[in-house]
C-alpha cells in the first residue's frame, strides 16, 4: 500500500510539473509570443538534425506548425496540454494556438514532447487552423532526461499532413486511444 501511494504521489507531482511546462504562465503577450517562437526555432532545428530530409518538406509545404505538449498517463486515463504556432509559408502569417488531449487505454508515466505538423496543401493548413482537432491511437515507450535516454520518434501521414513527434523528457509506457483538440489562442493573436 505504501509503495502504491509513493507511485501515485510521484505521478501526481509529475503531472503538476508537466502542466507547468506546457503552460505559458505569466508574462506579457509579447513575451509569450517570443517564448513560443523560441520553442519553435529549437524544435525545427532539432527536427532538421534528426531528419535532414524534413527541411525540404517544410520549405516546400503550404505551412507548418510546432507545438510543445506535456502529457500524463495514470493507468486508464491520459491528459495533456500545450501551445504552439502555425506558420503559413505563402503569406508569412503566424497563428498562435493551444492544444489539449485526453484519452483512455493502458498507460503510466509522464512526458514532455514536441510536435511538428507539415501541411502539404493550403486546404489542410486552413482546415487545421479553423477546425483544429484530430483523434487517433498512440503507443510508445519513453525514458529520457536531459538529452539522455531513449524515445521512439514517431511520424504519421494523414492525407495532406505529416506529423512528427519528438520527446524532450519523461518516462512513459502507454497504449491509448486519444483525441487532441487544437484551437486559436485569442489572447496571442
- The model carries a pTM of 0.75
Strand ranges for the chain from DSSP E: 63-88, 94-119, 133-145, 148-151, 154-158, 161-184
Distance CA 69, CA 142 (A): 15
**Banded pLDDT at 30 (limits 50, 70, 90):** very high
The pLDDT value recorded for residue 4 is: 44
Residue 73, C-alpha cell as written in the block: 498517463
Distance CA 68, CA 85 (A): 10
- The 3-state DSSP class for residue 23 equals coil
Bridge partners, residue 82, by sequence: 69, 99
Cα 118-170-133 angle, rounded to 5 deg: 35
- pLDDT digit string, tens, across residues 69-119: 876 777 677 788 899 999 999 999 999 999 988 877 766 767 678 899 999
Amino acid at each position: 500500500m505504501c509503495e502504491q501511494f509513493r507511485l501515485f504521489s510521484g505521478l501526481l507531482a509529475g503531472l503538476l510539473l508537466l502542466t507547468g511546462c506546457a503552460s505559458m504562465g505569466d508574462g506579457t503577450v509579447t513575451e509569450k509570443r517570443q517564448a513560443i517562437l523560441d520553442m519553435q526555432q529549437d524544435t525545427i532545428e532539432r527536427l532538421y538534425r534528426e531528419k535532414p530530409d524534413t527541411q525540404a518538406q517544410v520549405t516546400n509545404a503550404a505551412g507548418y506548425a510546432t507545438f510543445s505538449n506535456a502529457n500524463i498517463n495514470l493507468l486508464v486515463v491520459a491528459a495533456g496540454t500545450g501551445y504552439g504556432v502555425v506558420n503559413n509559408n505563402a503569406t508569412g502569417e503566424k497563428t498562435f494556438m493551444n492544444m489539449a488531449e485526453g484519452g483512455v487505454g493502458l498507460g503510466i508515466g509522464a512526458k514532455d514532447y514536441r510536435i511538428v505538423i507539415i501541411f502539404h496543401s493550403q486546404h489542410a493548413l486552413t482546415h487545421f487552423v479553423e477546425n483544429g482537432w484530430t483523434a487517433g491511437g498512440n503507443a510508445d515507450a519513453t525514458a529520457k532526461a536531459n538529452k539522455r535516454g531513449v524515445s521512439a520518434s514517431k511520424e504519421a501521414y494523414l492525407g495532406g499532413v505529416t506529423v512528427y513527434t519528438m520527446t524532450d523528457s519523461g518516462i512513459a509506457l502507454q497504449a491509448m486511444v486519444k483525441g487532441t483538440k487544437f484551437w486559436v489562442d485569442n489572447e496571442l493573436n
